[in-house]
Structure 1
Amino acid sequence: MPAASENTPLLSDANPGSDDNTNLQRPLGPLDISKTARYCILLGVWTATFLSVMTLVPTMLPSISSEFHKSHQASWLGTAYLLATCTFTPLYGRLSDVMGRRAAAQTAVFFAGFGTIACGLSTNMELLIASRFIAGIGGGGVSTIAAIVVSDMYSLRARGLAQSVASVFNGLGFGVGGPLGGLVTDWFGWRWAFLLQTPLFIISLLLISWNLNYVTPGKGKSTIEVLKRIDYLGIVSLLISTGSILVFLSTRYNEGLPWSDISVIIPLTLSLVSFVLFVIAEIFVSKEPILAPFLLKQKVPVLVGISNFLVSSCNFAMSYYFPMWFQTVLLTSAAIAGLHSLPSSAAMPIGSIFAGWYMHRTGRYKKINLIFGILPFVAGVLIAQIREDSGPIQSWFSITPIGFGNAIVLQTTLVALLAHIPENHMAVATGFARLFGSIGQVAGVAVSSALFQSLLDTELRKRIKGPDSEEIIRRIRQNARLVETLPADQQRIARDSYDVSLKAVFWFAAFSTLLAYVVRLPIPEKDLDRPKKADNGSPNDEQNGDSQIAPDQTSSAAEARTNDIRK
Structure 2
Amino acid sequence: MSTFKFKTPGNNDNNDNKLSKGDFRHLSPNIIHDTSAGTSGLIAGELAAEDDNLLNSQILTSHEYGSINSHQSLIPVTHEQQQEQQKQYQDEDILTYEIDEPNSGFALPKSQLFSVISSLFMASFLAALDGTIVTTILTLIASDLNVVSNISWIATAYLLSSSAFQPIFGKLSDIFGRKILLLGCSALFGIGCLICNTNSLVLLVVGRFITGCGGSGLTALGTITMSDMIPLRDRGFYQGLANVFFGIGSASGGIVGGYVSDILGWRYVFILQVPLSIILFITIYFNLNLPQGSPGLGAYDQNLKQKLKRVDFSGALLLVSSLMMILTAAALGGRDIEYNSKTFISLCVGSIILLTGFIYNELYLVEEPILPITLLSNRTILASSLANWFYTMAYFTVLFYIPIYYSSVMGMSATENGSRLIPNFFGTLGSIGAGLYMKKTGRYYKLAIAAGTSATFGILNMTRLGPETPIWEQFLLLLPTTLGYSCILTVTLLALIAAVPLKYQACTTSIQYTFRSTGSTLGVSIATAIFQNILFIQLNLKVKALIDDPQLASKIIQKALESTDYVKIAPKEVQNAIKDSYALGCQGAIKFALATIILGSISSLFMKEYKLHTSVDRK
Question: Normalising by structure 1, what TM-score?
Answer: 0.82
Matches of residues 394-543 of structure 1 in structure 2 within 5 Å?
394-465=473-544, 466-529=550-613
Shifted more, 290-299 versus 65-74: the winner is 65-74
Structure 2: distance between partners of 1:344 and 1:40: 29
Q: Mean Cα displacement is larger for which, 219-228 or 246-255? A: 246-255
> What letter corresponds to residue 109 of structure 1 in structure 2?
S
Does structure 1 conserve the Cα–Cα contact (< 8 Å) formed by 2:442 and 2:612? yes
Q: Which residue of structure 1 aligns with residue 236 of structure 2?
A: 160
Instruction: Summarize the alignment of residues 249-264 of structure 1 with structure 2, pairs less than 5 Å apart.
Output: 253-254=334-335, 257=338, 259=340, 261-264=341-344
Is 1:95 aligned with 2:172? yes
Contact 1:80–1:130, Cα closer than 8 Å, also in 2? yes
Q: Does 1:60 align with 2:137?
A: yes
Question: What is the aligned partner in structure 2 of residue 298 from structure 1?
Answer: 378
- The aligned residue for residue 131 of structure 1 is 207
> Which residue identity is paired with 1:244?
M
Which string of whole-angstrom CA distances, capped at 9 and with x for unpartnered residues, describes residues 364-385 of structure 1?
Answer: 1111221232211111122222
Q: CA deviation at 1:299?
A: 0.9
2:174/2:299 contact within 8 Å kept: no
SS of the residue aligned with 2:551?
coil
In structure 2, the gaps of 5 or more residues are 4-102, 545-549
**Partner of residue 391 from structure 1, selected from 451, 470, 473:** 470
Q: Which has the higher contact order (CA 8 A, sep 6+)?
A: 1
Q: Secondary structure of 1:373's partner?
A: helix
Deviates more, 1:102-111 or 1:215-224: 215-224
**Aligned mate of 2:316, from 235, 244, 258:** 235
Q: Which residue of 2 aligns with 1:309?
A: 389
After superposition, the Cα gap between the structure-2 partners of 1:533 and 1:199, relative to the gap in structure 1 and judged at 3 Å, is closer
Change (3 A) 1:189 1:498: farther
In the superposition, relative to structure 1, how do residues 499 and 92 fare at CA in structure 2: closer, same or farther (>3 Å)? same
Residue type of the partner of 1:235? A
Work out whether 1:245 is the aligned partner of 2:326. yes
Aligned-residue offset at 1:356: 0.7
Q: Judging changes above 3 Å, is the alpha-carbon distance between structure 1 residues 130 and 219 closer, same or farther for their aligned structure 2 residues?
A: closer
Amino acid at match of 2:410: L
Counterpart amino acid of residue 311 in structure 2 = I
Residue 117 of structure 2 is matched in structure 1 by 42
CA distance in 2, matches of 1:50, 1:531: 27
Q: Which moved more, 1:418-427 or 1:474-483?
A: 474-483
The corresponding residue for 1:542 is none
Once the two structures are superposed, residues 249-301 of structure 1 have per-residue CA deviations (whole angstroms, 9 ceiling, x without a partner) of 57764468474x43343223222222222222222234432321220221111
Q: Equivalents in 1 of 2:117, 2:444: separation in Å?
A: 24
Unaligned runs of 5+ in 1: 8-27, 535-558, 560-567
**In structure 2, what is the equivalent of residue 271 of structure 1?**
351
Deviates more, 1:217-226 or 1:352-361: 217-226
Could you tell me how far apart the structure 2 residues matched to 1:455 and 1:150 are?
Answer: 45
Q: Secondary structure of the equivalent of 2:136?
A: helix
Structure 2 vs 1, CA of residues 62 and 320 (structure 1 numbering), >3 Å: closer, same or farther? farther
Distance 2:270 2:192 in 1: 9
- Alignment check: 8 A CA contact 2:430 2:487 kept: yes
Counterpart code for 1:496 = D
Normalised by the length of structure 2, the TM-score is: 0.76
Contact 1:376 1:406 in 2 (8 A): yes
Distance 1:379 1:269 in 2: 36
Structure 1 residues 171 and 245: CA distance shift in structure 2, 3 A: closer
What corresponds to 2:195 in structure 1? 118
How far did 1:163 drift? 1.3
Letter in 2 for 1:477: L
User: Which residue does the alignment assign to 1:540?
Assistant: none
- The 3-state SS of whatever aligns with 2:137 is helix
CA distance in 2, matches of 1:334, 1:82: 24
Per the TM alignment, residue 303 of structure 1 is displaced from its structure 2 partner at its CA by 0.9
Matched residue SS, 1:429: helix
Q: Structure 1: how far apart are the matches of 2:305 and 2:533?
A: 49
CA contact (8 A) 1:246 1:446 kept: no
Distance in structure 1 (CA, Å) of the matches to 2:220 and 2:495: 16
Partner AA of 1:66 in structure 2: S
* Letter in structure 1 aligned against 2:362: E
Residue aligning to 1:322: 402
Distance (Å, rounded) in 2 between the aligned partners of 1:219 and 1:263: 43
| 1:38-71 CA distance string (max 9 Å, x none) | 1111111110110111222222233234334544
Q: Deviations over 1:174-219 (max 9, x none)?
A: 2322322232233333332222222222211111111112242564
Structure-2 separation of matches of 1:367 and 1:107: 39
Q: 1:258 to 1:312 in 2, by over 3 A?
A: closer
Give the whole-Å Cα distance in 2 for the aligned partners of 1:75 and 1:339: 26
Deviation at 1:309, TM superposition (A): 0.9
* Corresponding residue number in structure 2 for 1:14: none
Total equivalences in the alignment: 508
Kindly provide the amino acid, as one letter, of the partner of residue 240 in structure 1.
S
Question: Contact 1:43 / 1:207 at 8 angstroms: preserved in 2?
Answer: no
The question of whether the paired residues in 1 share the 8 Å contact of 2:535 and 2:581 is answered with: yes
Distance verdict in 2 for CA 1:449–1:240, change over 3 Å: farther
- Whole-Å separation in 1 of the counterparts to 2:312 and 2:562: 39
Over alpha carbons, which structure has the higher Rg? 2
Q: Which amino acid in 1 is paired with 2:450?
A: I
Percent identity over paired residues:
30
**Would the alpha carbon gap of residues 122 and 478 (structure 1) be closer, same or farther in structure 2, given more than 3 Å must change?**
farther
Report if the CA contact (8 A) 1:375-1:405 is conserved: yes
List per-residue Cα deviations over 1:514-534 (Å, max 9, x = no partner).
110001112122332488989
Change (3 A) 1:477 1:127: farther
Which residue is 2:426 aligned to? 346
Question: Amino acid of the residue matched to residue 345 of structure 2?
Answer: I
TM-superposition CA deviations, 1:303-351 (whole Å, max 9, x none): 1111111112122222333222222222323343233333223321x10
Aligned residue for 2:47?
Answer: none
Contact 1:171 1:346 in 2 (8 A): no
* Distance change >3 Å, CA 338–CA 196, structure 1 → 2: farther
Residues in 2 aligned to 1:344 and 1:508: alpha-carbon distance in whole angstroms? 21
Q: CA separation in 2, counterparts of 1:397 and 1:178?
A: 22
Q: Do 1:290 and 1:432's aligned partners in 2 also have CA atoms closer than 8 Å?
A: no
Q: In 1, Cα distance between the equivalents of 2:305 and 2:534? A: 52
> Which residue of 287, 290, 302 maps to 1:214?
290
Cα shift at 1:507: 1.6
The secondary structure found in structure 2 opposite 1:523 is coil
The 8 Å contact of residues 476 and 483 in structure 1, kept in 2 or not, is answered as: yes
